[in-house]
Amino acid sequence: MRAPVRNSLALRQENAALKGKVRALSAALEQARAQAEAERERVEALLHDTSHRIGNSLATVSSLLGLQLLRSKSDEVKQALEAARSRVHAVAAAHRRLHLGDDLETASADEFLQPLLQELARTTSSGQHVALVSEVDAIAITARDATTLGILIGELVGNALRHGFPDGRVGRILVSLHRDGVGIATLSVIDDGVGIDSQTTAGEGGLGSVIVKQLAQQFGGVPEYERRGEGGLAVRVPLPGIAGQLPAT
């Protein structure tokens, strides 16, 4: 056999062998991709199921508190039970509204908080005559931080509704979450309600204020309270603990 013929045959054999290897690698990659996608779907289903179970458990607790509320004859006890039920509901709402991204680890703040505020307005009696407005940047936050942030907002909004708009007063609450010039996220809850009198120190004394302070500390922030000249109260909470996370895409 002549050398050129032998070389050509060898090249064809090598080419066929390479094609076989490429097909085998492609099949292996496709199988690995399918397995990874199946695992992702399994984990996502487990997360949704867990969140659903937590939400149901919290809803049961809220219902039990509601039954006790109906049976109580003490106004002081009724107020305490109603506040407790409202806080449990805020936790449940935060869990229900949490939808993780493709990485199954983070959520976009705007997609999470806007429907949460809508639910707070719908399920709170004061929310029928007080408009809840949101201005939230698309900030990526972890699932744990998202739930904590939702509870913090629920507490601040609940405090504003309970104390800022008595006797069916009409008004507005603005909830905003933006980054400042150095990238630190800041939460603001501003209302145009009755505000607080000059003898009261903002942010001190009540259980709600204690809860807000403790939740803010989880993000490394301290709540700042400001009486508004035109009426109402502004609460700003720096959240440096989520400053390092990248904006959602």
Residue count of the chain, please give it: 249
Rounded Cα–Cα distance for residues 83 and 104 (Å): 33
Angle at 159 between CA 156 and CA 164, to 5 degrees: 120
Question: Of residues 40 and 149, which shows the higher confidence score?
Answer: 149
H/E stretch holding 214: helix 207-217
110-124: burial string, b at 16+ Cβ within 10 Å, e else: bbbbeebbebbbeeb
Q: Identify the pLDDT of residue 24.
A: 82
Q: Tell me: the pLDDT tens digits for 158-173? A: 888 888 888 888 899 9
- Residue pair 238/184 in contact (Cβ under 8 Å)? The answer is yes
Q: What is the 3-state secondary structure (H, E, C) of 15-33?
A: HHHHHHHHHHHHHHHHHHH
Q: Tell me: the pLDDT tens digits for 211-248? A: 899 999 999 999 999 988 878 899 999 999 885 444 44
Question: What is the rounded average pLDDT of the residues 186-208?
Answer: 74
Q: Tell me: the pLDDT tens digits for 59-98? A: 777 777 778 878 888 887 877 777 777 777 767 766 666 6
Pairing of strands 130-136, 171-179: parallel
H/E stretch holding 234: strand 233-239
Q: Tell me: the pLDDT tens digits for 6-42? A: 667 777 777 777 887 888 888 888 887 778 777 767 7
Q: Tell me: the pLDDT tens digits for 179-190? A: 888 888 999 999
- Does 198 score more than 60 pLDDT? no
- Does 194 score more than 80 pLDDT? yes
* Joined tokens for residue 65: 């508190």
The Cβ of residue 149 has, within 10 Å, a number of other Cβ atoms equal to 28
Q: Identify the pLDDT of residue 185.
A: 92
Q: Identify the pLDDT of residue 138.
A: 87
Question: Of residues 137 and 71, which shows the higher confidence score?
Answer: 137
Q: Domain 105-249: give its CATH superfamily.
A: Histidine kinase-like ATPase, C-terminal domain (3.30.565.10)
- Does 120 score more than 80 pLDDT? no
Across the chain, mean pLDDT equals 78
- Does 5 score more than 60 pLDDT? no
Pairing of strands 224-227, 185-191: unpaired
Q: Identify the pLDDT of residue 191.
A: 94
Rounded Cα–Cα distance for residues 219 and 243 (Å): 9
- Residue pair 216/237 in contact (Cβ under 8 Å)? The answer is yes
